[in-house]
A and B are shown apart, each in its own frame.
Chain A
């Protein structure tokens, strides 16, 4: 079974703090993705990566950065957290070759920025 784990289920941070969200997959997948889920907006892609040290902007990259130093780990960084970044953050991975490959999601991190 593919396992995608996220470092925290719930996180509360203050405005201006630097926030790290970690994601690890154990199936040697090439592709990794970060989404945020908001009511009425569905899942929106923040960043994705097709290879180690490689990253591509998604639809809403502003205010975020990512790091992929190892194949199994993909980190999302909020450089200076703001209240409009309060959301559910979902990490996903897929085998490779195509983004249409089945994506396997982690359980999500609910981030609240006060």
Chain B
């Protein structure tokens, strides 16, 4: 049962344009969401997060939007750069004793075309 889904396995975007990566979740109890980025032969690294009490969080070129009613979040990268080419994982968290773990999505491979 995939509670966090990234329906696009891959995405190609021209350098300088906007990259939009999408993530859907099914568990309405999730209250914190994160994006991780992974280069080949390296472990994932944290990128940006958002709490369910917000609908937007911005950090430089990266913005995450959360639509709780649609159970959907998206990561916007503007402008896209070649170094952004990587696999992006969204992850969701539900707080509370005994539930302290992240649930990751399946990942989207982003390729920035120079």
Q: Cβ of A40 and Cβ of B106 under 8 Å apart?
A: yes
How far apart are B93's CB and chain A's nearest CB, in angstroms? Answer: 4
C-alpha gap A50/B98 in the complex (Å): 11
Q: Is B9 an interface residue (CB 8 A)?
A: yes
Are B101's CB and A105's CB within 8 A?
A: no
Contact A45 B44 (CB under 8 A): no
Number of A-B contacts (CB under 8 A): 64
Q: Are A43 and B43 in contact (CB under 8 A)?
A: no
Contacts of A103 in B (CB 8 A): 36, 44, 46, 102
* Residue numbers in B under 8 Å from A11 (CB-CB): none
Of the stretches A63-71, A73-81, A92-100, the one at the interface is: A92-100
Contacts of A100 in B (CB 8 A): 32, 34, 49, 93, 95, 102
Min CB–CB distance B78 → chain A (angstroms):
23
Given contacts A99-B101, A100-B32, A100-B102, A4 and B43 within 8 Å (CB-CB): yes
Could you tell me the distance in whole angstroms from the C-beta of B1 to the nearest C-beta in chain A?
Answer: 10
B interface residues, tally (CB under 8 Å): 25
Chain A residue numbers with a CB within 8 Å of B107 are 42-43
A29 CA to B7 CA in the complex, in Å? 33
Provide the bound-state CA to CA distance between A35 and B46, in Å.
15
Interface status of B28 (Cβ within 8 A of chain A): no
- Choose one: B42, B91, B93, B100; the contact of A107 (CB below 8 Å): B42
List of 7 A-B pairs having minimum Cβ-Cβ separation, nearest first: A105-B43, A42-B106, A43-B104, A99-B100, A100-B93, A102-B46, A100-B32
Write 24 A-B pairs (CB below 8 A) sorted by A numbering: A40-B106, A41-B106, A42-B4, A42-B106, A43-B44, A43-B91, A45-B101, A45-B103, A48-B101, A56-B101, A98-B100, A99-B93, A99-B101, A100-B49, A100-B102, A103-B46, A103-B102, A104-B43, A105-B44, A105-B45, A106-B43, A107-B42, A107-B43, A108-B42
